[in-house]
C-alpha cells in the first residue's frame, strides 16, 4: 500500500460523510487505544490576567437563539409568524409558545436566520432578543 501524504490524507478525510468520519475515529481509537474526546487544558491567557494583547478580539458568535421576550398586543400576528418560522408547530403549540413568553422560538441557528426571524417577529408586534 502506498503511503499517503498529509495533504492526500486530509483530502480523503474531508471527503468523508459525518457517519464515515465517526466510524473512522472509532476505529482509530480502538486500534491505538486512545480517545479522541476533547480535553480542556486550563492555560492562563493574557485576557484572564487582565492584560489584553493588541489586536486580540473576542471570538464572534456563530449560533444564536431567537427568544420571544413579549408577544405584544397583536398575538394572532405573532402566532402566524411563529408558525411560518417553525412549520413543524401546530396552531396550539404555536399559541402556547407565544403565550408562555419569554420562550425560545429557534435555537442554534446562524446569524442570517436569526436576523430574519427577529425581523418577522418584530414586524408582527413581538419583542425579540437574540442570545
Query: What is the rounded distance in angstroms from the CA atom of residue 10 to the CA atom of residue 80?
Result: 46
Residue with cell 490524507: 9
pLDDT of 18 higher than 70? yes
pLDDT of 97 higher than 70? yes
Q: Are 70 and 126 in contact (CB under 8 A)?
A: yes
- Residues 34-92: pLDDT tens digits? 766 554 445 455 555 455 555 566 677 778 888 888 888 888 888 898 888 888 888 88
- Residues 20-35: pLDDT tens digits? 877 887 887 788 777 6
Summarize the chain as % helix, strand, coil (round to 5): 45, 15, 45
pLDDT of residue 53: 54
Instruction: Sort 89 into a burial class: Cβ within 10 Å, 0-12 / 13-18 / 19+.
Output: middle
pLDDT of residue 38: 52
Adjacent-strand bridge partners of 65: none
Taken in order of first residue, the domains within the chain and their CATH numbers are 64-130 (3.30.1390.10)
Amino acid at each position: 500500500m502506498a503511503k499517503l501524504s498529509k495533504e492526500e490524507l486530509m483530502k480523503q478525510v474531508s471527503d468523508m460523510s459525518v457517519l464515515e468520519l465517526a466510524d473512522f475515529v472509532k476505529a482509530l481509537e480502538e486500534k491505538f487505544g486512545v480517545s479522541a474526546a476533547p480535553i480542556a487544558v486550563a492555560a492562563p491567557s493574557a485576557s484572564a490576567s487582565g492584560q489584553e494583547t493588541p489586536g486580540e478580539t473576542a471570538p464572534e458568535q456563530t449560533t444564536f437563539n431567537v427568544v420571544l421576550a413579549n408577544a405584544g398586543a397583536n398575538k394572532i400576528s405573532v402566532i402566524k409568524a411563529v408558525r411560518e418560522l417553525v412549520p413543524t408547530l401546530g396552531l396550539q403549540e404555536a399559541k402556547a409558545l407565544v403565550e408562555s413568553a419569554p420562550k425560545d422560538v429557534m435555537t442554534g441557528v446562524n446569524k442570517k436566520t436569526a436576523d430574519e426571524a427577529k425581523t418577522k417577529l418584530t414586524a408582527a408586534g413581538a419583542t425579540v432578543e437574540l442570545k
